[in-house]
Structure formats: C-alpha cells, structure tokens
Amino acid sequence: MALLEIENLQTDFVSHGGSVRAVNDLSFQVNSGEIVALVGESGCGKSVTSMSVLRLLPEATTRTDGVIRFDGINLLDLSEAEMRRLRGKAIAMVFQEPMTSLNPVLTVGRQIQETLKIHEKLSRAQARQRAIDMLTLVGIPAPDQRIDEYPHQLSGGMRQRVMIAIALACNPKLLIADEPTTALDVTIQAQILDLIRDLNKRLGSAVIFITHDLGVVAEVADRVIVMYAGRKVEEAQVDALFTDPRHPYTKGLLGAMPVLGSSLSDEAPQSLAEIRGQVPALNKPIVGCVFASRCDLAFERCRHEAPLMTRLGDGHAVACHLEGGAHA
C-alpha cells in the first residue's frame, strides 16, 4: 500500500461571485522513501494540492472532495484536532518563503522546540538539545550559537535550512517541500537540493517536491507529475519524462529550458520554445482538453472531449487524445 493515495481530488475556492476549481480530478500516489515532483507553471494547482493534503485551506471559503488517504486513513474524514496531531509529526511541510513562515520575534531554537514539545512531549532541556541536533543535521554551522538567534540574523539559505529542521524534527513519514529553492541563489539552491536528497536517503521520509523548475526536478525526483490548469496531464519516472515526453504541454516546458553552452556552438543558436496563449480561466467549466487552446497539435475532438489518462507502461501515463485516450 502506498504511503499517500490521492483519488479524484477536487478543490474549489468559493465566493459570492462563484467558485474556482483550482484542483480538478487529481489522482496519484507517493510511496515510502520516494521523491515525487509536482511540476507546472504558476496557478496550475501544485500548492493548492499540498495545502489540501494538510487541510490548511480555510473551510469557510474552500470545498475539498475526493479521497486523501495517508497510511490507510482518509484525512478528509478526520477532525481538526486529529489533523493537528498529524501536522508536523507524520506529515510536515517546508513553505516557499521562510521569512514569512518563521516568526520574527522568536529565536529559531524556540520555533524548533515548539514542535518537539507539542508532538514529542520533551522537556525544555531535551527539546533544546534535539533542536541543536536538528540544526547540525541540516548543516548549519555553530548550531549551539545559531539556536539563540532570530530569523533576520540568518541568511536566506540558513533560514530555509531552519525551515527544513523544523519540518524534520519529529521524523515525519512525508515531507512536502513547496518551492523551497525559489528565492535562493544558484549555489544555495544546489546545497538545499543536496540536503533534501541526503535526508530522504538517511531518514527514509517520502517527499513531495513542488516546483516549476524542471532543472530542479532532474536533480532530485524519482517520479514526476505534470499539472496544468488543475489537472494531471502526464506522469512518469524522471528519466522517461526527460527522454520521452508525451504530452504537448510537457514538451513545451522542456523546450523552454535553456541548454547550457548552446550559444557557444558553431551552429546558429536555437530560440527557446514558447507556449502561446494563456492558461484558461478556472471560474467556469473547461470543455474538452484543458490545454487545447494553446496546443499546436489540437484537433476537433480535443476541443469537445476531455482526454482520459492513458497508461503507456512502466508507470508512464498521459492525458492526450494523440496517445489513444483509453481510460486506465
């Protein structure tokens, strides 16, 4: 049995003016010890999916349907008190921007210790020592000094490491990392990616890695799920996705990646691929394929009938009429 099983997830934002379906009929699994990347441009539903799993979206303005089964338990059936016992212990999250996630008036040690006191019932002295151990684990130098410093005293890379230390303090079975390297320079990005990959191997935590950067995906992921307009359009092992992409949107994303050194070759440099048009509005139902309005290969069927997920073998699946459209 998979550690996390998401079946037909739908998340709507509801207001007086109507509703917006941010995630539509999404299904995927995450196995223990596996790193699964959720990929797509901004607004495709990646972060909303992660917030739905942790049930962090406000109930007054959102509606979530489907099944989110973690360790055999449907999280949508749990009370808020039961979810609080899971958050930070069995499932933890690293948010995109540490300066808005860390409390500026509390030391980083205090913020790590809070998680330990709530979930592990440790004494103050035990929690402090464990916090120092966690700062050491994530590679922060002089942890016994840094533990008493405030977030503004740390660099962006160190703040992100603190966020990871907080998330891993209780040895969660599942870590959700939401664009953890977006605001960091390239050198620090590489260090954070190495850290997540190393911790995944050492601690065995499964990871959902959310990003729009396919270069990052190639570095860390075992399996990739490509999302567009709230839907899954392709899923594959990372090597298969890069060597044999099957959905036009995936091909467009890969074509938009710059190739290092291409401008230095004797041949005329190739322009980056462009995906024309805009993401369709999600405040009304989309008829047909969600990508049809931007796809150069779209034909009449694409504009009237939504493609079903086709299994291509070895875990590769795609939702495209060009691949047959048979339901799997």
Q: Is residue 41 part of a domain?
A: no
Residue 148, in any domain of the structure: yes
Chain centre to alpha carbon of residue 89: 18
Residue 269's pLDDT is what? Answer: 60
Q: For residues 128-145, give the mean pLDDT.
A: 92
Residue range of the domain that includes 145: 99-171
Question: 284, 297 in Cβ contact below 8 A?
Answer: no
147 located within any domain = yes
> pTM for the full model?
0.90
- In percent, the amount of the chain with pLDDT more than 90 equals 62
Residue 254 has pLDDT above 50, yes or no: yes
Residue predicted with more confidence, 183 or 220: 220
pLDDT, tens digit, 9 for 90 and up, residues 176-206: 999 888 767 788 888 888 888 888 888 889 9
Whether residue 236 is predicted with pLDDT greater than 90 in this model: the reply is yes
- Distance, CA of 122 to CA of 115 (rounded, Å): 10
Distance CA 107, CA 89 (A): 21
If you search the block for the tokens 């995927």, which residue do you land on? 28
- The answer as to whether 113 is a domain residue is yes
- The confidence band for 326, taking pLDDT boundaries of 50, 70 and 90, is very low
Judge whether residue 116 has pLDDT over 50. Answer: yes
Task: Provide, rounded to the nearest whole percent, the portion of the chain with pLDDT above 70.
Answer: 95
| 54 falls within a domain | no
Asked if 249 contacts 321 with a C-beta cutoff of 8 angstroms, the reply is no
CA distances from residue 199 to 93, 164, 205 in whole angstroms, order as listed: 14, 10, 8
Domain count of the fold of the chain: 1
pLDDT per position as a tens digit, 309-323 = 999 988 899 999 998
Residue 56 corresponds to which tokens in the numbers above? 């962090």
Mean pLDDT of all residues in 154-183: 88
pLDDT in tens, 76-105: 999 999 999 999 999 999 987 777 889 999
In a domain, 238, yes or no: no
Predicted pLDDT of residue 328: 37
The predicted structure's pLDDT at residue 168: 87
264 pLDDT more than 60: no
Residue 286 in domain = no
Predicted confidence band at 121 (pLDDT cuts at 50, 70, 90)?
A: confident
Question: Is residue 294, in this structure, part of any structural domain at all?
Answer: no
Closest CA to 254 of 220, 226, 291: 226
